[in-house]
Amino acid sequence: MRYFKVIFRKMLRPAAVSLFLLLLVSCATGVRGGDCLRTELYFGQIPSGEWEDFLNHEVTPRFPEGLTVVDGEGQWRDPSGRTEKEHSRVLILIHSHKPEEDEKIEELRRLFCKKFHQQSVLRVDQEVKASF
């Protein structure tokens, strides 16, 4: 019996503590079942080649772990009250709650607006459980 107590104390207890710690930081490390943020960015219409360039040179280097882009058709009301319709792209990111992740997203929004003379990039955040 003493043998099993020694094994538990030396091996199983540290393993249980390690597993618990991994679950606490699961999203940041990519472990299954973590608390993460899902951010959707809604980009307005720009020429296809310019979008690919923006995606390859600005988005992918900031989020090399992965992302999803969905093509869409959007509409919005301009300042004069007229409804505008345009092709759009939705960028979906699953990421941790770290401030540096938030800053990378805000950099993308500012850069896109400045580079392509857009009024805004809609951002939607939602807490999710993610599994990789």
Instruction: State how far the Cα of 115 lies from the Cα of 20, in Å rounded to an integer.
Output: 45
pLDDT, one tens digit per residue, over 34-89 is 689 999 999 999 998 999 999 999 999 999 999 999 999 999 898 899 999 999 99
- What is the CATH number for 102? 3.30.70.120
The rounded Cα 5 to chain-centroid distance in angstroms is 45
**58 and 92 within one domain:** yes
Instruction: State how far the Cα of 78 lies from the Cα of 24, in Å rounded to an integer.
Output: 44
**86 and 26 within one domain:** no
**27 and 43 within one domain:** no
**46 and 25 within one domain:** no
25 pLDDT above the threshold of 80: no
**65 and 50 within one domain:** yes
Choice between 115 and 12, residue whose per-residue pLDDT is larger: 115
0.85 exceeded by the pTM? no
**48 and 110 within one domain:** yes
Asked whether 115 and 50 are in contact (CB, 8 A), the reply is: no
pLDDT over 70 for what percent of the chain?
A: 74
125 pLDDT above the threshold of 90: yes
**90 and 63 within one domain:** yes
**65 and 18 within one domain:** no
**101 and 46 within one domain:** yes
Average predicted confidence (pLDDT) for the chain: 82
Cα atoms in the 13 Å half-sphere on the side-chain side of 78: 8
Instruction: State how far the Cα of 109 lies from the Cα of 103, in Å rounded to an integer.
Output: 10
- Number of domains composing the chain: 2
Instruction: State how far the Cα of 122 lies from the Cα of 50, in Å rounded to an integer.
Output: 19
Instruction: State how far the Cα of 15 lies from the Cα of 107, in Å rounded to an integer.
Output: 40
Domain ranges, residue 5: 1-31
